[in-house]
Structure 1
């Protein structure tokens, strides 16, 4: 069993706890992702803004889907609906 397999197994054991935390604190998590993407965009001078935004959206999508529902971060953007 490789390192990544062990990491996936360890994370899989905690999915319920993480999804509960996302359910309870989605507003703060959303703010943190926004602040992180804004910081990264500023530090790169806006050069990679599109890629950074995609990364933030991917983080939201992954965290939102941990419980099997897309209900924690509001409605999806128009291009993903």
Structure 2
């Protein structure tokens, strides 16, 4: 067992616990992100509003993905795409 495998094995339970906490407190995290974005936008007097909104949106998506990473996605229905074969010979 290599060092990386050992680290993954030890960090797995912590990652699961963090995911559970993120799912449990997702609304508070989202509210905190909005509040921080609003404060930064006010302090910069709207100079970076578009970048702040973009970053906040990406952070919210990341929290959502992390909080719901155990939930089955919409495309886990049993149909799989077959692996691509070799390119046709010309």
TM range (shorter): 0.5 to 0.7
TM-score, structure 2 normalization: 0.58
Which stretches in structure 1 are left out of the alignment for 5+ residues?
A: 1-8, 70-81
Counterpart of 1:49 in structure 2 is 49
Max radius of gyration: which structure? 2
Matches within 5 A, 1:59-74: 59-66=59-66, 67-68=68-69
Structure 1 vs Structure 2 CA RMSD: 2.0
Which stretches in structure 2 are left out of the alignment for 5+ residues?
A: 1-7, 72-90
- Following superposition, which runs of at least 4 residues in structure 1 exceed 3 angstroms of deviation? none
Structure number having the greater helix percentage? 1
Matched, 1:31 2:31: yes
TM-score, structure 1 normalization: 0.64
State how many pairs are aligned. 60
In 2, the alpha carbon distance for the partners of 1:64 and 1:18 equals 13
